[in-house]
Chains A and B, each alone.
Chain A
Amino acid sequence: AQTVTQSQPEMSVQEAETVTLSCTYDTSESNYYLFWYKQPPSRQMILVIRQEAYKQQNATENRFSVNFQKAAKSFSLKISDSQLGDTAMYFCAFVLTQGGSEKLVFGKGTKLTVNP
């Protein structure tokens, strides 16, 4: 089965602190891409960070970084120095490529609230 599991429906963090969102996935692909998307109240889907599975080095984008454990099929997102604007739904996803098609498979999301 090609699935993504986000085990934390909701999380909260104080402004300026660090928070980690969990994600595990299941795929039979050997090479794939993983993504974290942010969906603020405006509902626009915004790409936060991407990771290529064949790269061992964890991706980093400013205050956002991932902990990618390929063997464990784990892809957690760490947000450092949390800001009020980070309040949003966060979705973990991977690209499933089959038979000439390509589609994103999403988890159910984690609602993150940053408190002042």
Chain B
Amino acid sequence: NAGVMQNPRHLVRRRGQEARLRCSPMKGHSHVYWYRQLPEEGLKFMVYLQKENIIDESGMPKERFSAEFPKEGPSILRIQQVVRGDSAAYFCASSAFEPINNEQFFGPGTRLTVL
């Protein structure tokens, strides 16, 4: 049973470009979470999605950031017009059940570098 998959593992963008980060949850998982880790910091929650629905986006910056989890295919975190401050590691996690404090399984992360 494959774990949570994220790609690309490393992504380099110039300021003003778009970044697309993909996450495939574990088989059978229908809940996806995105977290951002700035250098020397812990992970910070960004958004929680279920299939075709955004449940909680309270941690997402109001502009330039969006996320989706379509019925088919991976979850996508999209950052438009990237700036140097977006450089970070972005982690995806997935879980199987309704929010009853189940474990979240993490992917290996995507390290975004903005030049």
Residues of chain A at the chain B interface (Cβ within 8 Å):
4, 31-33, 35, 37, 42-47, 50, 52, 91, 93, 95, 97, 99-109
Contact = CB atoms under 8 A, between A and B. Distances in A.
Given A95-B101, A106-B44, 5 more contacts: A44-B108, A45-B91, A103-B48, A104-B33, A104-B104
Given A33-B101, A43-B89, A91-B43, A101 B109 contact: no
9 contacts: A31-B101, A43-B109, A44-B109, A93-B42, A97-B99, A97-B101, A101-B99, A105-B45, A108-B41
Interface of B: 31, 33, 35, 40-45, 48, 55-56, 58-59, 89, 91, 93, 95, 99, 101, 103-104, 106, 108-109, 111
Most-contacted residue by chain B among A45, A95, A106 (CB, 10 A): A45
Majority secondary structure, A binding face = strand
Contacts of B103: 35, 47, 50
A105 B59 CA distance: 11
A21 B40 CA distance: 17
A108 B56 contact: no
Contacts of B89: 43
Contacts of B109: 43-45
Contacts of B41: 108-109
A91 B42 contact: yes
A95 B45 CA distance: 11
A2 to B, nearest CB: 10
Contacts of B59: 103
Of B40, B42, B43, B56, the most chain A CB neighbours within 10 A belong to B42
